[in-house]
Amino acid sequence: MADENMTGGEGAEHQGWAAVVGEFLGAARGAGRQLASWARSSGAADLPFMEDLIRVAEGVDPEEEFFRLTRRLGVDWDGSCDELRDFARSRLTGEYAVDEFGFDPEFTERIVMPLLRVVAEKWFRIEVRGAENLPAEGAALLVSNHAGALPWDALILHAMVHRDTGRHIRLLGAGLVFETPYVHDFSRRIGATVARREDADALLEAGELVSVFPEGFKGLGKPYGERYRLQRFGRGGFVSTAVRAGAPIIPVAIVGSEEIYPLISGAPTLARMLGLPYFPVTPFFPWFGMLGAIPLPVKWIIEIGEPIVTADLPEGTADDPMAVFRTTDRVRLGIQNRLYALLEERRHPFWG
């Protein structure tokens, strides 16, 4: 008994988490009640887990409702606390390593991947097709469509590839990502690096799975009315990179990510003032505060296509602008056609 009082015990640990959650939720309750009212009047309350989210938002014992919702989503708080203690111990003792790009496998596998798997499997009810097209070892370049205001697609793709193959994806990201406080450090730790030739070449030569989203911020900032219409794939630098490394190009089509935040405006004037490529304005954000940043529970499909073997491309492709353009267009058109096919197959964004 004395020991439990001294250490706080599991009950105190739960209360500590509840206090943190309560402070966050308390600030959002007013907006939450408005969101709950909209959800019930519009029929959105019938969506998976939405009724639980409404109870959290309405503020009737929100801390307990939050923990009840997360338990339904599969979060094991006791196991998570044990994992966090072990993780903290390794940080304090220095028994961990990062590579030259800042990738921290322990942080990624023990903290980030379990959380993303819960989001992918329970919230987005994700379906992954074509995982057998991913190599068990050796380099490959994954090329995907990009959208959703925030880069959930990059995170979820990483989590699903890791779940199905045990391999990590090394994301090539825009420079702005690595100039943003906190985001920079987190991105490095989960394996991302700047999208430049030297880094891409080094990762592929090391036999890594590398991912690129050629639409960049043009894709993330697409208005809702342009969802699933691919933007330009730039100059096709990813083709030259793959050819130089002799790595296959694997096209990936993601359905669901382009509807989690229905973007109605990029607020260009405000975005310029803030130094951003766009400022996301949706029916819920920024009107409902942080609750408006919760992605809608749209059902996702990730389809991993058959590899394009770069060794089969004509010699000199990497340095031939027209050959690079043709291959880039082939990849882009292939992804666009698969997106259209998946959308034809899907009956409803929320129920699949």
Tens of pLDDT along 159-213? 999 999 999 999 999 888 888 888 899 999 999 999 999 999 999 999 999 999 9
pLDDT bin (cut points 50, 70, 90) of residue 71 is low
User: How far is Cα 282 from Cα 248, in angstroms, rounded to an integer?
Assistant: 37
Residue with tokens 């938002």: 57
List 190's β-bridge partners, or say none: none
Residue 334: burial class (beta carbons within 10 Å; 0-12, 13-18, 19+): middle
First-last CA distance in the chain: 52
Q: What's the average model confidence in pLDDT over 293-303? A: 94
pLDDT bin (cut points 50, 70, 90) of residue 268 is confident
DSSP 137: S
> How many CB atoms are closer than 10 A to CB 222?
24
pLDDT at 6: 41
Q: What is the mean pLDDT of the chain?
A: 82
> How many CB atoms are closer than 10 A to CB 130?
17
Tens of pLDDT along 113-169? 999 999 999 999 999 999 999 999 999 999 999 988 888 999 999 999 999 999 999
pLDDT at 44: 58
pLDDT bin (cut points 50, 70, 90) of residue 52 is low
Handedness of CA 268, 270, 276, 279 (dihedral sign): negative
pLDDT bin (cut points 50, 70, 90) of residue 42 is low
Element spanning 140, H or E = strand 140-144
Tokens of 306: 């058959």
Residue type, 31: A
User: How far is Cα 283 from Cα 262, in angstroms, rounded to an integer?
Assistant: 7
User: How far is Cα 263 from Cα 277, in angstroms, rounded to an integer?
Assistant: 14
Collect contacts of 9-12 with beta carbons under 8 A, ≥24 apart. Answer: 10/78, 10/81
Instruction: Output 303 or 272, whichever has higher pLDDT.
Output: 303
Is the CB of residue 96 less than 8 Å from the CB of residue 72?
no
Q: What's the average model confidence in pLDDT over 276-287? A: 84
Instruction: Output 317 or 328, whichever has higher pLDDT.
Output: 328
